[in-house]
Amino acid sequence: MSITETVTVRAFEAPFSLEGKTAIVTGAGRGIGKSIARRLVSAGASVMICDLDEKMLVQAAEDLGDSSRVGHFQGDLTDPLVPGELVEATLGTFGGVDIIVNNAGYSWDNVIQKTTDEQFQAMLEIHLVTPFRILRAASGYIRDAAKHEIASGQRVMRKVVNITSISGTDGNPGQVGYSAGKAGVIGLTKTLAKEWGRYNVNVNSVGFGLIETRMTQALGADIAQMEMHGHQIKLGVQQAMLDSVKSACPLGRLGTPEEAAGAVLFFCSPLSDYVTGEVLICGGGLHF
């Protein structure tokens, strides 16, 4: 084996590191978002986690360890001012932004004839408008940093990962608002991949199937709820639906938050440096 071949093999086999990178992860107080943040911290990145629930957010930051590399920002991302404040807080704390994971979201379901304007708009606000506002707020820093790097002969890859769903790719009865928001994320992803390629930014989406979170727990006597803008929103799905999904899924089960985070980590890593504008489905082979 030649020296060149030896170096190439070693480079290929070496584990990647995200040392020196800074990430924003929204909806990271629990569940998938927290697992994504944990994966990024473990890979060496500094992470600003964001959530609406301050108590869960503070606990998540403590759980993630190294306080010098984990910051937390509490806020309602559907407030038009908050996405910009999140970006500014990240720049102020860590000095840069290299990875943005737009994960925050929830479901507020109903069939179309029972879906109010407020309900439909709420799904668009959190799943589509919020990622748009965060990315718009970060665009100035990303463009300026990239121009400086390119002028000095450097290629520094940055990453955007927008979270979609098989409800957005395939549709799902009873989720007209959620599905519309998640489908819109794909259009946002593909357009921004074309706009930001010149700045060495990979923009991709990960679409989840059913992952084991409070949103997919079986409905029972103790129904989980969340409060959003004065509404108590029930979380969970019927046990019959869970059984049906497991039966239809080739892998025969729901995914774990850690497995979901693994798919996101790929798009945050150097392994995806020549992948952009794509949608990776992490759903165990399930399609609605």
DSSP three-state, residue 252 = coil
Inter-residue contact 10 to 39 (CB < 8 Å)? no
CB neighbour list of residue 279: distance below 8 Å, 6 or more residues apart: 164, 169, 186, 189, 204, 205, 206, 207
DSSP three-state, residue 251 = coil
Give the total residue count for the chain.
Answer: 288
Catalytic site residue 178?
yes
DSSP three-state, residue 175 = strand
How many other C-beta atoms are found inside a 10 Å radius of the C-beta of residue 131?
29
**Burial zone of 151 (CB within 10 Å; 0-12 exposed, 13-18 middle, 19+ buried):** exposed
Whole-angstrom CA distances from 213 to 63, 146, 151 are: 18, 37, 45
Residue 105 DSSP code: -
Whole-angstrom CA distances from 282 to 166, 261, 287 are: 9, 10, 11
* Parallel/antiparallel/unpaired status of strands 99-102 and 70-74: unpaired
Q: Say which amino acid occupies 105.
A: G
d(CA 53, CA 16): 32
Of the candidates 106, 178, 199, 274, the residue annotated as catalytic is 178
d(CA 75, CA 79): 8
Please, what is the Cα angle at 200 between 190 and 149, to 5 degrees? 155
Q: Just list the catalytic residues.
A: 178
